[in-house]
Structure 1
């Protein structure tokens, strides 16, 4: 842990202050002094909690490589099979691609990350091992969790459960799942495997749930039944949770159950039927984070490794326009994700919060040259200073064969 004085900064666009960091956490915040002493000179810049990417697929990312024509068939299964068919044709290894993508994320200010790593009979543990190598390389500058993720289901191919078990023994932090009804067509057996592995290895759960409408609400209820029966409150996340976007009469009750069971939600700022009811979730106290998902991979050409850009997308797709709403989107992309990785942090339970700057809060920050949080989201300034565990950090994104995406060059 590190000690640091950060002088003349404006938390969430407020008044100029000096921030004292001791042993990696905030120990004091005071009005800016004329001569604060040695440390990090903020120069009046905006300071925010570090960005958090809590739904990422480092193993599939092709960020920094030439954009390839999309070749998948329509639908989720078509995309899954397109990935399986083509992932070995990427120009660099999983470890190299994961390493570059993680470097870009950290350089842009994301120091708290949860990534999925696909585990199946086709790739074995190769994708997990590549992601684990990237995590190890940047262990000093970012906290990275890995989910052992059965993208092709658990029951369709013999041996998948054993591979997931092996990934957890090799250092995966959570066990994943995916669409127990639509893919495996047997939600009870699917969830049996997921929660058995979670109990056996004493890890958390993060389940992809793209299932829409009443089917998705049904599966959500099955997951919540397991959480309540096994006492796993505060240890489970549902990714995407598309059924909550449906507007169906059962959604408010589902949100109340999610809050009571302390089940978190992560998503990728989707549109056209994928817009989560962010305000209702906040009011209920449900923890919500956002992530880049896949980036320029065999699923999608989107993504640039910048979670500030994803905060803009989150605000845009939800029709946010007021400063308070846009700041909430930014809070989800910073503190919201952090509170999923560290359930000891207070949740974003209403609009208008400016978290991350109380004594005892972790010293995870990003400094940007912007007059306000709204301006930071709208403009996404390129030059940033990143602080992790109370120390200024930097990463080298000049990796052979990769190019920084778009405006970040």
Structure 2
């Protein structure tokens, strides 16, 4: 397949030859070249790697359903309880909701997804099974990892650990954890379970960390300590962690250096806080960093629309970025940054100027976007998009090709 007249990361017009799902060559655009069946008209659009949403809760989605009054209560437990009280009563079933949401994400350019699947004594494995069904339905259009997620904690309700292990037996890719101090109030036992099950089933780990101030730092340091002791470098991600920069500069620098040393990755949903660890410093230190949409118009909040390009704009905005290089870096985080967390064969971003993923030898997971410059694609967020996964066009004009609509 030839992608004709595209601009990789906004560079001059090029022709990109794809063979066996890999970019085989990138050459200067030849306007006289005759296109064949199956070739793609770039039309002068900008070519970037496809998006990687590495922090999304497909299992709580209400995408495509009518807006409803937000009834959540403060705190993780209050919000989780609101979800429990309402998720079964949605207008359509959870299997259809999850598949429809994943379909819309793919249509907008996301072909790599790490989704959480809540497992507890309330939903048992029902939410996990819905995410697994969507993963299977769109196996040819996206790579999906499923994280088994103890949203209600592990220790607060008897039987939770049993259901978590059942999901891992069924093939979950990642073992989850959440707020070891604040929610379960026993960080040692909580991390015993998380790291123990991950070791037993040979999975990676992803821990939600909403804890603030010194408590959040304490939990992060416990996670790092376990990672080092068990030799799990490169297998642990800390998500959110939006308060780890609130203590002092020396502590922030120590955490960043520790995460880099142990290859502990981080994911963000671009929250409206200024207390997170600085993105530029994390990148310069070599910390893998990815972006996600979190909930998708669910029982936690009305935000989220399946478009990681919108969340890229938000990442740049909440960081106060105006320089082209830094806004482009946010797009690199949303694409290759997340990909490097899901697949360690993908190199982490080397600097804020690194623009990988569209050269010969790279996997042909790509998006064509209308725009004057790379920054303008983030500012304007055009619907003119063509999505390529493993060297195949899987979506165009915000429609997934060759798959019956989920709902």
| Same fold by TM-score greater than 0.5 | yes
Map 1:87-126 to 2 at 5 A.
Answer: 87-126=87-126
Aligned residue in 2 for 1:407: none
Pair 1:20-2:17 in alignment: yes
Match of 1:131 in 2: 131
Q: Which residues of 2 match residues 242-253 of structure 1 at below 5 A?
A: 242-248=242-248, 249-253=250-254
TM-score by length of 1: 0.95
Q: Residue 174 of structure 2 aligns with which residue?
A: 174
Check the 8 A contact 1:364/1:390 in 2, yes or no. yes
- Taking a change above 3 Å as real, the CA distance of residues 96 and 274 of structure 1, as seen in their structure-2 partners, is farther
User: Alignment partner of 2:338: what SS?
Assistant: helix
C-alpha contact (below 8 Å) 1:244/1:277 kept by paired residues: no
Select between 237-246 and 202-211 the one with higher mean Cα deviation: 237-246
Aligned to 2:346: 345
- Following superposition, the deviation at residue 247 of structure 1 comes to 5.0
Aligned to 2:85: 85
Q: 1:35 Cα deviation (Å)?
A: 3.2
**Partner of residue 282, structure 1:** 283
Match of 1:212 in 2: 212
**1:275 Cα deviation from its structure 2 partner:** 4.3
Match of 1:29 in 2: 26
Give 4+ residue runs of structure 1 displaced > 2 Å after superposition.
Answer: 34-38, 242-245, 272-276, 396-400
1:192-231 matches, within 5 Å, as: 192-231=192-231
Paired with 2:31 and 2:190, the residues of 1 have a C-alpha distance of 61
Residues 20 and 365 (structure 1), Cα distance of their counterparts in 2 relative to 1, 3 Å cut? same
Q: CA offsets, 1:58-94, max 9 Å, x none?
A: 0001011111111121222211111111111211211
Alignment gaps of 5+ in structure 1: 403-409
C-alpha spacing 1:380/1:247, structure 2 compared with 1 (3 Å): farther
Contact 1:56 1:294 in 2 (8 A): yes
Q: CA deviation at 1:360?
A: 1.7
In 1, Cα distance between the equivalents of 2:151 and 2:206? Answer: 12
CA distance in 2, matches of 1:240, 1:372: 30
Q: Which has the larger displacement, 266-275 or 39-48?
A: 266-275
DSSP-derived class of the 2:228 partner: helix
Deviation of the 1:274 alpha carbon:
5.5
Task: Tell me the distance in 2 between the aligned counterparts of 1:361 and 1:399.
Answer: 30
Contact 2:15–2:28 under 8 Å retained in 1: yes
Give me the whole-angstrom Cα distance separating, in 2, the residues matched to 1:121 and 1:285. 39
Q: Secondary structure at the match of 2:176?
A: strand
Inter-CA distance 63–276: structure 2 relative to 1 (3 Å threshold): farther
Q: Residue 392 of structure 1: SS of its match in structure 2?
A: strand
- The CA deviation at 1:194 is 0.6
1:71-82 equivalences under 5 Å are 71-82=71-82
Structure-1 separation of matches of 2:183 and 2:174: 20
How many Å separate the matches in 2 of 1:276 and 1:129? Answer: 35
Does the 8 A contact of 2:252 with 2:277 survive in 1?
Answer: no
Residue equivalent to 1:315: 316
**What residue number does 1:257 align with?**
258
Q: Distance in 1 between matches of 2:225 and 2:243?
A: 17
Distance 2:194 2:123 in 1: 19
CA contact (8 A) 1:245 1:276 kept: yes
Per mean C-alpha deviation after superposition, the further-off stretch among 202-211 and 274-283 is: 274-283
Instruction: For structure 2, list consecutive stretches of 5 or more residues without a partner in the other structure.
Output: none
How much has 1:242 moved relative to structure 2? 2.2
Alignment partners' CA distance in 2, 1:142 and 1:156: 35
* More displaced 10-residue stretch of structure 1: 340-349 or 51-60: 340-349
Alignment match, 1:406: none
Count of aligned residue pairs for this structure pair: 398
Per-residue deviation, 1:245: 3.3
Q: Report deviation, 1:230.
A: 1.1
Residue in 2 that maps onto 1:377: 378
Cα deviation code 1:134-191 (max 9, x no counterpart): 1111000000000000000001111111111110111211110000100110011101
Residue of structure 2 in register with 1:405 after alignment? none
Give, in whole Å, the separation in 2 of the partners of 1:398 and 1:247: 50
Secondary structure of the 2:168 match is helix
